[in-house]
Chain A
Amino acid sequence: MRLVVDLNRCQGYAQCAFLAPEVFAMHGEESLLYDPNPGTDGEADAELRENVTRAVAACPVRAILLELADGRAGDGPGGAS
């Protein structure tokens, strides 16, 4: 999995950090740190994948762009339609 968070858009709602704490973590009150390439390519474990997908969908400002290992683009700013 590959992901990038548009931190201009991010407003620190922390939904992602609740849903996928292994990938997203708040750092201070509203800064977000994340693992840009979580999991191992090709065999990202199903639970991690599920959590990250839910985090992407839960972001109130749609700041997360996700590409799953199979090349399918996820939701996000200008995500593939």
Chain B
Amino acid sequence: MTVDGSLERLKREGRIVVVGASLAGLRAAETMREKGFTGSLTMIGDEPYEPYDRPPLSKQVLLGRAGPERTALPRRRDIEAAWRLGVPATGLDMAARRVRLADGDEVEYDRLLIATGVRARPWPQADEAALDGVFVLRTRDDAAALEQKLAAGPGRVLVIGAGFTGSEIASACRERGLPVTVAERGAAPLVGALGGVVGEVAAEMHREHGVDLRTGIMVTRLEGDATGRVRVAHLSDGTTLEADVVVVSLGAMRNTEWLAGSGLGAGPRGIACDAGCRAFDIRGIVTDDIYVAGDVARSPHALFGYQFLSLEHWGNAVAQAETAAHNMLSESADRRPHLWVPAFWSSQFGVNIKSVGVPSMGTEILIAQGSRDERRFTGVYGYQGRVIGAVTFDQSRWLQFYERLIEETAPFPPTFTTVDRRPEGNRPMPADFPDPSVPTHGPTITLSGYSPADRRMTFTPAHH
């Protein structure tokens, strides 16, 4: 790519294809044009809409304050692209440098950026998932359908899963005055991301706002009425719950199926790439012409022990897209690593929750400022004697300070005193993350019948 000036040729008349027309794809395309790329640019997206912003879908949109069709992302500049919207990519031929589309078309590239993101994990029983009133929330269409249902004033909404999205949905329902039950198989909401100490605060917030929060429980079956509308949920404690809206909020699945058999290192855990966003093939060799950005990427982070991190964060999508775009159009010596410090936010029950670093790596937490009882505090996470993450509840102005400590691998517990330190902040506590190697629920087997001929075994598999 150097001696013969081929990089210049690529920038002038090369063909770049971006698969995934959401936040990461759009910001990458803008960055390429900003860097002087004048060749052809093709944007491929499975949804029929131009790039839109997803965070408002579980907040403003569910509250009925902004229509789902009014979330289109502002452009930083014109990208002069050929848009192929509503047509998913179905295959990749790495040797021929071609992307296959669902309509049979093929698009050739000199450089490919994969930003296909994630989709909502569906309810595992397809016939139950198809019942009228059962939703997931990831896309504009999902939000439009769910908002319409909430506006009709359902008798009870059941939210399955109390992660960030599930909690935000429950919060929006309560704000609309709707009865809500949240079923979470862990011990508290948000425990996977923030641990049990903070999860306990989240649980109290749910209950104070009138959510019927049930933890340590699984939904085993959804039952519809004769017209195919969802009516009852069966729970793992043997009880049933009537609900006319069920929102399945069980996390996300990475959109990598279209790459099966391509030879690219892509699977259920995402697409592995190097710190410069170049994708690995299945042999573990990094490719020169295929880059990855956003939720679907899994890349090593020097600050966190070179662990491969998958970050489903808005800010990560933007930063990684910019780095990928830069590197796609650079000589190898000019490439940059993607060294973004993870950060995210959530707004629920009127509280602004923000985080930096990787709290889930933390083994201990110190409430450095404020108090959990007041729902206004800063928690600092420690890992092997260093600060690894931080979370704030309505104290976001302190977060930047802790971000610096994470970047500097400052010692944990912090050696300095902080303003507004309370007695609960005198010493660190175990952060209480669930052990990922221990399943929260094994399979459930129930036996019925007496005579050997009647003996029946019902097997309810563990969900993942």
Contacts and interface: CB of A to CB of B under 8 A. Distances in A.
B397 interface: yes
B302 interface: no
B352 A28 contact: yes
Contacts of B78: 71
Interface string A48-81: 0000000000000000011100010110001110
B66 A36 contact: yes
Interface in B329-377: 343-345, 347, 349-352, 354, 376
A7 interface: yes
Given A8-B343, A8-B344, A33-B65, A3 B74 contact: yes
B76 interface: yes
Nearest to B23: A4
B73 A4 contact: yes
B274 to A, nearest CB: 24
Nearest to A77: B318
Interface residues of A, number: 29
Contacts of A11: 396-397
Contact of A28 (B60, B318, B394): B394
Contacts of B65: 33, 35
Interface in A5-56: 6-8, 10-12, 27-37
Interface of A: 2-4, 6-8, 10-12, 27-37, 65-67, 71, 73-74, 78-80
Given A33-B63, A65-B74, 20 more contacts: A8-B354, A11-B396, A28-B347, A28-B351, A28-B394, A29-B394, A31-B350, A31-B351, A33-B60, A34-B60, A35-B65, A36-B53, A36-B56, A37-B71, A37-B72, A65-B76, A67-B74, A67-B75, A71-B75, A80-B34
23 contacts: A3-B74, A8-B314, A12-B352, A28-B394, A29-B376, A30-B394, A30-B396, A31-B347, A31-B350, A33-B60, A35-B66, A36-B60, A36-B73, A37-B70, A37-B71, A65-B74, A66-B74, A67-B75, A67-B76, A71-B75, A73-B74, A74-B74, A78-B322
